[in-house]
Amino acid sequence: MADGQVTGQEGRRIVGAGIRARLSAGEMAPGQRLVEQELSETFGTTRSAVREALQDLAAEGLVELIPRRGARVRVISVEEAVQITECRAALEGLCARRAAASAGDADRAELRDIGEQMSRAVTEGDLDAYSALNRRLHDTIARASGQEVAENLLDRLNGQTVRFQFRLALRPGRPAQSLPQHLAIIEAVVTGDGAAAEAAARAHLDSVIAELAATPERPEPVGSEVAVP
């Protein structure tokens, strides 16, 4: 990091984006402490910028902020991940229904394209591609629905469960299970069948919930440092 010192406003953005990225990449474990000075050195910003970024992340539920004790990566239990997914089911159901009614031609074309690429990715066993397409599908439907409020809520909820989504996608046989569900959502939205789209979206997320429920609660580290493997 040979950047010159980054000024505050940018610093806040940079630290926020940086932590988000590392969190998604699994480079920061749940429960891990986030020390302000460390972060300010890592990202080449001031402590104030780090502080503000941590506030942002706490507001998004990615970080837990305990007064006088600092910040740590928030631990999300399987139980909470299930609840989050239940909310997603409700909201994505809404989006799918609306998208079926009001998506433009470009959106429908994109959805068809995503469906084809997904099928191919599963055939070829390309998990990374499938995972990326998965996110793109959900995003596209949310955007096509015109429900900006729901889209924002979903963004936030997704941010909290990326870790789980990731683990889930790696299970053998999971893509083969979810592919037909995704295709059913796409089909219903593209053909404009709102009720079917909502039902398909809900069914898909119910399936995710079932998988989550079968996830063992792994003992997350709670000490000041992450347990050594």
Radius of gyration of the chain (CA): 19
Position 183 contacts DNA (CB under 7 A): no
59 binds a second copy (CB under 8 A): yes
Q: Which is nearer to a second copy, 10 or 225 (CB)?
A: 10
Distance, C-alpha 124 to centroid of its chain: 24
- Nearest-approach distance from CB 175 to DNA, in angstroms: 40
> Chain centroid to CA 63: how far?
15
Per-residue x/- track, 129-158, a second copy (CB under 8 A)? ------------------xxxx--x---x-
If contact means CB under 5 to 8 A according to the sort of partner, which of DNA, a second copy, none does residue 37 touch? DNA
Cα 89 to Cα 210: distance, rounded to the nearest angstrom: 13
Nearest approach in angstroms of CB 202 to a second copy is 10
Q: Calculate ∠ Cα 26-29-31, nearest 5°.
A: 155
Inter-axis angle of helices 127-144 and 174-190, nearest 10: 30
Closer CB to a second copy, 55 or 207, in the complex: 55
Instruction: Candidates 14, 30, 31, 46: give the one binding DNA (CB under 7 A).
Output: 46
H or E segment at 26?
A: none
Q: Within 162-191, which residues bind a second copy (CB under 8 A)?
A: none
Minimum gap (Å) between residue 147 Cβ and a second copy: 6
Among 21, 48, 54, 13, CA closest to 162: 21
What number of other Cβ atoms are within 10 A of residue 217's Cβ? 8
Residues 186, 103: contact at Cβ < 8 Å? no
Candidates 49, 81, 91, 184; binder of DNA (CB under 7 A) is 49
* 60 vs 40: CA distance, rounded Å: 20
Q: Which does 180 bind (CB under 5 to 8 A by kind): DNA, a second copy, none?
A: none
Of 11, 31, 93, 115, the one binding a second copy (CB under 8 A) is 93
Asked if 9 is part of the footprint of a second copy (rule: CB under 8 A), the reply reads: yes
Largest pairwise CA distance in the chain:
55
Closest CA to 34 of 228, 225, 162, 218: 225
Where do contacts with a second copy occur on this chain (CB under 8 A)? 9, 52, 55-56, 59, 67, 80, 83-84, 86-87, 89-91, 93-94, 147-150, 153, 157
Q: Binding residues for DNA, per CB under 7 A?
A: 5, 7-9, 11-12, 33-37, 46-49, 51, 65, 67-71, 223-224
